[in-house]
């Protein structure tokens, strides 16, 4: 009888660590997917030399949908030196814990390099807000996502 209880206990311990390992791998894969999406958005903004209007945002949302990214993003800009601007991007890696029915969002931040703006371009007239307005770096408004 003692060997049967020991074997059952050992089986439960192995199953517990297997579940922890599977959960860890799922989180790592999800984080890598969000990190890749962040890099694609930063590259797109740098290649298009900023976000000039709604067409750029629609293209970013299209990229997000094509890659199966369901969560929202936050984006803002900071004025740099010599008529340049930096864009800051925050994507969210979300996962839920089924037993406690709680959704956890982990932010993944990124920033573009300095983008030289044309003399007639004013980023404040676009759809993106300036960073730091309202006391925090990001506006708190999540765009897109479920």
| Residue-level pLDDT at 15 | 94
Q: 138 in a domain, yes or no? A: no
Which residues, other chains included, contact 125 with Cβ-Cβ below 8 Å and sequence gap of 6+? none
Q: 139 in a domain, yes or no? A: no
Identify the domain containing residue 23 by its residue range: 2-130
| Residue-level pLDDT at 18 | 94
Q: 142 in a domain, yes or no? A: no
Q: CA 100, CA 80: separation in Å to the nearest integer?
A: 45
Measured from the Cβ of residue 118, the count of other Cβ atoms closer than 10 Å reads 10
| Residue-level pLDDT at 135 | 46
Q: Which two tokens stand for residue 139?
A: 């506006």
Q: 143 in a domain, yes or no? A: no
This prediction's pTM: 0.75
Domain count, the chain: 1
Q: 42 in a domain, yes or no? A: yes
Low-confidence ranges of the chain (pLDDT < 70): 1-5, 53, 118-127, 132-146
């Amino acid at each position: 009888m003692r060997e049967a209880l020991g074997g059952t206990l050992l089986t439960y311990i192995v199953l517990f660590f297997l579940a922890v390992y599977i959960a860890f791998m799922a989180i790592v894969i999800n984080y890598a997917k969000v990190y890749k999406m962040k890099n694609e958005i930063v590259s797109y903004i740098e290649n298009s030399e900023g976000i000039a209007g709604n067409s750029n945002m629609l293209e970013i949302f299209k990229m997000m949908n094509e890659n199966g990214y369901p969560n929202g993003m936050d984006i803002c800009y900071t004025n740099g030196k010599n008529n340049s601007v930096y864009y800051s991007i925050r994507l969210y890696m979300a996962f839920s814990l089924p037993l406690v029915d709680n959704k956890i969002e982990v932010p993944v931040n990124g920033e573009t390099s300095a983008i030289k703006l044309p003399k007639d371009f004013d980023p404040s007239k676009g759809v993106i807000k300036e960073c730091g307005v309202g006391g925090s770096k990001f506006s708190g408004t999540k765009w897109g996502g479920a």
